[in-house]
């Protein structure tokens, strides 16, 4: 059974569009912090999946950036 850690960072609506790299970096940092606390010591192969919640309009908008870390067993 794999262990997964899924985190997302929400951003405000309207105004300046957020930096995409900052959104994913923040979500990745949160997921890695949880993984380092819960996986224990050792070396692991981790699958990293980046995702986003978007509102499709013209122009579209991303309102949440997310990362899922999975350790396949």
- Residue 27: exposed, middle, or buried by beta-carbon count in 10 A (0-12, 13-18, 19+)? buried
Domain ranges of the chain: 3-71
| Residue 2 pLDDT | 57
pLDDT of residue 1: 37
CA 28 to CA 41: how far, in whole Å? 19
- Confidence grade of residue 43 (pLDDT, cut at 50, 70, 90): confident
Distance CA 64, CA 6 (A): 13
How large a percentage of the chain has pLDDT more than 70?
88
> What average pLDDT does range 41-47 have in this prediction?
84
Using alpha carbons only, give the angle 66, 70, 72 rounded to the nearest 5 degrees.
165
Asked if the bond preceding 72 is cis, omega within 30° of 0, the reply is no
pTM of the model: 0.75
The 10s digit of each residue's pLDDT in 20-36 is: 888 888 889 988 888 88
């Amino acid at each position: 059974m794999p262990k997964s850690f899924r985190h997302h960072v929400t951003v405000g609506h309207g105004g300046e569009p957020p930096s995409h790299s900052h959104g994913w970096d923040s979500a990745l940092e949160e997921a890695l912090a949880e993984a380092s606390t819960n996986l224990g010591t050792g070396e692991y192969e981790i699958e990293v999946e980046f995702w986003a919640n978007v509102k499709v309009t013209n122009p579209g908008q991303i309102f949440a950036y997310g990362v899922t870390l999975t350790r396949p067993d």
